[in-house]
Amino acid sequence: MNVDDPRIREAYLYKKLSNNRVQCTTCHVNCSLEEGESGICKTRKNIEGKLHTLIYGDISSYSLHPIEKMPAYQYYPGSVALTFGSWGCNINCDWCQNWDITMHKPPEKYTNASLMTPEKVVENANFNPSINGVCFSFNEPTLSFEFALDVFQMLPNDFYKYFVSNGYMTVEVLDLLISSGLNGMTVSFKGTENVTDALLNIQQRKIWDNLQIAAQRGIHLELAYLVIPTINDDEEFIRDFSQKVIHRLSANIPVHFLRYFPSYLTKIEKTSVSNLQKTYTIAKNEGLEYVYLGNIPGHPFQNTYCPDCSELLLKRDQFSLTFSQLTSDNRCPSCNFPVQIFPYRPQYINK
């Protein structure tokens, strides 16, 4: 391993243990690593008794995306985010929809095209006036957190800073991200606690704890739930998940139920539209105010409806916002219900 490689830097958060072992405290997996060992995410390695990240500024892809693609439907609707991904994940799901980058070790060699610096990110963001924010997505962004911190601290305040994450970072990481300017997160769930803790060897309650901390600190939150037939689509699971959102966070947190397609190691048939529609109805009946269905282009449940009178408020076509009739103070024009949108920017709407 070439320690002159600019992607390899000493990690911010770890503990030194005896015999040159280290314990990573970046995420709740808390890998304890002997010299020469890498964590299960493949992005952190014990090199001579110090934990190093192997992916500082190492980008698997970056491109412009509508914020709706994250998915985030109630955060700067219609805006555009410069979106980055890197390599690896700290939770290994057999059904991963992005497995070509999440299951991938960082490449042995980097190229100028794959190496970003925080300065380059700021330059790119400033260069294109259509960019409204920066988003870390595609793989688990917690693993790029040293790089994300530097980007967030350097990026002017008029750009939003967003994460699409599994939410399994430690509280220290979450705190540093928020202190450095993180504004919003879409957190993806793979099922309810009993499913994920058994199948993925995690403790989901730690994700809920993080979400509560983030909500208390004013971070915009949206939740995504990949609906996988026979794994996590049981009516009881959807009810349980909806109740957790309401009781641990709020009924007005947007929740996206996403259609699963066979991917990576899982060959289960794709989720049917009728299954997703049933899921939508269950979640609404439980009391969630903003429920969406994702990965079904053109479906009416991609739109935002007033939780009080069901008036159509924001209409979407795929990831484009095509119509809005919210008032200038984010209320329903029909019944005056205050709608949870942060903030409303009508100039972004493509009419």
CB of 106 to ligand SF4, least distance (A): 12
Residue 30 touching ligand SF4 (CB under 6 A): yes
Compute the distance between CA of residue 31 and CA of residue 156 in angstroms, rounded to an integer. 35
Residue 143 touching ligand SF4 (CB under 6 A): yes
Residue 41 touching ligand SF4 (CB under 6 A): yes
Three-class secondary structure of residue 266 per DSSP? strand
Q: Which of 20, 21, 40, 229 binds ligand SF4 (CB under 6 A)?
A: 40
- Which residues are registered as beta bridge partners of 324? 314
Piece in contact with ligand SF4 (CB under 6 A), picked from 34-42, 58-66, 251-259, 267-275: 34-42
Piece in contact with ligand SF4 (CB under 6 A), picked from 33-41, 68-76, 249-257, 328-336: 33-41
Compute the distance between CA of residue 94 and CA of residue 76 in angstroms, rounded to an integer. 33
Residue 137 or 139 with smaller CB distance to ligand SF4:
139
Map residues 89-118 to x or -, x wherever contact with ligand SF4 holds by CB under 6 A.
-x----------------------------
CB of 157 to ligand SF4, least distance (A): 28
Residues in the chain: 351
CB of 263 to ligand SF4, least distance (A): 21
Compute the distance between CA of residue 215 and CA of residue 220 in angstroms, rounded to an integer. 7
Residue 86 exposure: Cα atoms within 13 Å on the Cβ side: 30
Residue 31 or 134 with smaller CB distance to ligand SF4:
31
- What sign does the dihedral 106-111-114-118 (CA atoms) show? positive
Residue 136 or 260 with smaller CB distance to ligand SF4:
136
- Sequence-separated (6 or more) residues with CB below 8 Å from residue 85: 59, 60, 61, 62, 98, 101, 136, 137, 138, 139
Piece in contact with ligand SF4 (CB under 6 A), picked from 19-27, 190-198, 200-208, 267-275: 19-27
Residue 52 touching ligand SF4 (CB under 6 A): no
Q: Which of 17, 29, 268, 312 binds ligand SF4 (CB under 6 A)?
A: 29
CB of 51 to ligand SF4, least distance (A): 8
Residue count at the site for ligand SF4 (CB under 6 A)?
12
- Residue-wise burial string across 261-279, b where 16 or more C-beta atoms lie within 10 A, e elsewhere: eebbebeeeebeeebbebb
Encoded tokens for 278: 């049933």
Residue 15 or 247 with smaller CB distance to ligand SF4:
15
- Sequence-separated (6 or more) residues with CB below 8 Å from residue 132: 67, 76, 79, 80, 81, 159, 160, 345, 348
Q: Which of 22, 26, 59, 181 binds ligand SF4 (CB under 6 A)?
A: 26
Contacting residues toward ligand SF4, per CB under 6 A: 24, 26-27, 29-31, 39-41, 44, 90, 143
